[in-house]
Amino acid sequence: MSAVLRDLRGVHFDVLPPLSLYVHIPWCVRKCPYCDFNSHERSGSLPEAEYVAALFRDLEALLPSVWGRRLQSIFIGGGTPSLFSAESIDALLAGVRARLLVEPEAEITLEANPGTAEAARFRGYRQAGVNRLSLGVQSLQDAKLRALGRIHSAAEARRAVEMALAVFDNVNLDLMYGLPGQSEDEARADLEAGIALGTPHLSAYQLTLEPNTVFYSKPPQLPDHDACADMQRRAEETLARAGFEHYETSAFARPGRRSRHNLNYWEFGDYLGIGAGAHGKISFPERVTRHEQAKQPREYLKGASCAGIKTIDAAELPFEFMLNALRLVEGFAPALFTARTGLASTVIEAKLRQAEDKGLIERSAERIRPTERGRAFLNDLQQIFLP
Ligand code: SF4
pLDDT for 309: 84
With a 6 Å cutoff on the Cβ, whether 79 touches ligand 1 is yes
Q: Is the distance from the beta carbon of residue 37 to the nearest atom of ligand 1 less than 6 Å? A: yes
Pocket test for ligand 1, best of 32, 134, 203, 205 (most atoms within 8 A of CB): 32
Is a pLDDT exceeding 90 seen at residue 116?
A: no
Quick: pLDDT tens for 298-336.
999 998 767 678 999 999 999 999 999 999 999 999 999
Question: Cβ(283)–Cβ(270) under 8 Å?
Answer: yes
What pLDDT, on the 0 to 100 scale, is given for residue 5? Answer: 47
| CA 355–ligand 1 middle distance (angstroms) | 36
Residue 205 CB–ligand 1 contact under 6 Å: no
Report the predicted TM-score, pTM, of the whole model to 2 decimal places: 0.96
DSSP notation for 207-228:
----TTSHHHHS------HHHH
Please write the tens of the pLDDT for every residue from 48-90.
Answer: 999 999 999 999 999 999 999 999 999 999 999 999 999 999 9
Share of the chain above pLDDT 70, in %: 97
Q: Is the CB of 32 under 6 A from ligand 1?
A: yes
- Residue-level pLDDT at 4: 44
Residue at 298: amino acid letter: R
Residue owning the nearest CA to atom 3 of ligand 1? 79
Q: Is it the case that residue 367 has pLDDT exceeding 80?
A: yes
Closest CA to 267 of 201, 203, 337, 329: 337
Question: Is the CB of residue 78 below 6 angstroms from any atom belonging to ligand 1?
Answer: yes
145, pLDDT greater than 50: yes
CB of 26 shorter than 6 A to ligand 1: no
CB 284 within 8 A of CB 275: no
pLDDT (average), residues 282-303: 94
∠ CA 261-263-267, nearest 5°, is 125
- Does the beta carbon of 331 lie inside 6 Å of ligand 1? no
pLDDT at 7 over 70: no
Instruction: Classify the C-alpha dihedral 296-301-305-311 as positive or negative.
Output: positive
